[in-house]
Amino acid sequence: MQNSTTVSHPLVMSLTFGEMTSIKYLYCVFVLVGYVLTILANITVIAVITLHQTLHKPMYIFISTLCFNGLYGSSAFYPSLFINLLYKAQTISYVGCLLQVYAIHTYGTNEITILTVMGFDRYVIYKLIAAAFLYTFFWITIHVILTSRLPLCDSVILKIYCDNWSVVRLSCVDTTVNNAYGILTIVAIPVVMPILIFISYVEILRVCARSSKDFRSKALQTCAPHLISITNYLFDVLFELTLYRYTPTNVPYGFRVFMSLNFLVVPPLLNPLVYGFKIQELRIKMAKHLLRK
């Protein structure tokens, strides 16, 4: 790749949709339905928490923040995917590609940082939420700046959306700095965050062991949705990081697409459903609100 001709900017990146184009209209229906359901589910939870004063508590503020992040991530992905499926040429401008990289990576990092701070003391909630977002934007901004400085020798991305590594691997020059920063980010986010969550739950279990049965039952009801969300997210990220770095050719294309989309599609739809149905107080308020409407 070092001897390849540099692609000058501005350029248009070609996305690789492969077998998806054969039944693209069916996929368009799935994408549209998925986006609408995601919007409705997350907005419903946010609206109910906002409108009911009794829900203005740390836990519910965290949940509404998680739903807002789901809306942000979905809007960075679904409309672009829908448009590219409709048109014969699946392309995106270089600037648009970098913006999508930034949005998707900040969404993913926000998700894990919000889930992490949810496991800790809620008394400093607004500071924790602000710190979660600042932490995310700090890491991903540096990622995108490092990537935007690279000269590219190709413009074909082997995915149906832009991510940082897919752009970096098109570079004509040595990418050691980008790779090193990528590894540092993996350590700082998908590794450190689960460790912090584990520490917080060890403390919760210690408190529950010394508490009454009613307290343990309430703690389990509160913690179960959080554990479901974090387990699902970490499972998705594990597969995405593996495919993201190595792209094994022996894995079927359809499965690679499915797994690469999972962390973008499932959490924004799963989170409002899990929290809405599992937490009794929120479930009751949502039911009353919807019935009244």
> DSSP string covering 21-46, please?
GGGHHHHHHHHHHHHHHHHHHHHHHH
Query: How far apart are the C-alpha atoms of 27 and 86, rounded to whole Å?
Result: 10
pLDDT tier at 246, thresholds 50, 70, 90: low
Distant-in-sequence, close-in-space partners of 223: CB < 8 Å, separation ≥ 6: 201, 204
Structure tokens that stand for 269 in this block: 């739809």
Say whether pLDDT at 36 is over 90: yes
Query: How far apart are the C-alpha atoms of 42 and 46, rounded to whole Å?
Result: 6
The pLDDT value recorded for residue 2 is 43
Domains and CATH numbers, the chain: 12-292 (1.20.1070.10)
**C-alpha torsion angle, residues 218, 222, 227, 228 (rounded to 10):** 110
Query: How far apart are the C-alpha atoms of 253 and 160, rounded to whole Å?
Result: 11
Count helices and strands in the chain by DSSP H and E runs = 11, 3
Say whether pLDDT at 212 is over 60: yes
Say whether pLDDT at 209 is over 60: yes
pLDDT in tens, 13-32: 667 666 666 677 888 888 89
pLDDT in tens, 51-80: 888 888 888 888 899 999 999 999 998 998
Query: How far apart are the C-alpha atoms of 78 and 31, rounded to whole Å?
Result: 7
Closest CA to 19 of 156, 160, 201: 160
The pLDDT value recorded for residue 32 is 92
Mean pLDDT, rounded, for 212-219: 72
Q: 2-11, 13-22, 234-243: which has the minimum mean pLDDT?
A: 2-11
pTM above the 0.85 mark? Answer: no
Long-range contacts of 208-217 (CB under 8 A, 24+ apart): none
Closest CA to 237 of 284, 200, 185: 185
Considering the chain, what percentage of its residues have pLDDT values greater than 70?
81
Mean pLDDT, rounded, for 190-216: 78
pLDDT in tens, 107-151: 988 988 888 887 765 556 777 888 888 888 988 999 899 999 888
Between 89 and 275, residue with greater pLDDT: 275
Structure tokens that stand for 175 in this block: 């990418």
Between 151 and 208, residue with greater pLDDT: 151
pLDDT tier at 33, thresholds 50, 70, 90: very high
Residue pair 144/106 in contact by the 8 Å Cβ criterion: no
- Which residue bears the tokens 């991903």? 140
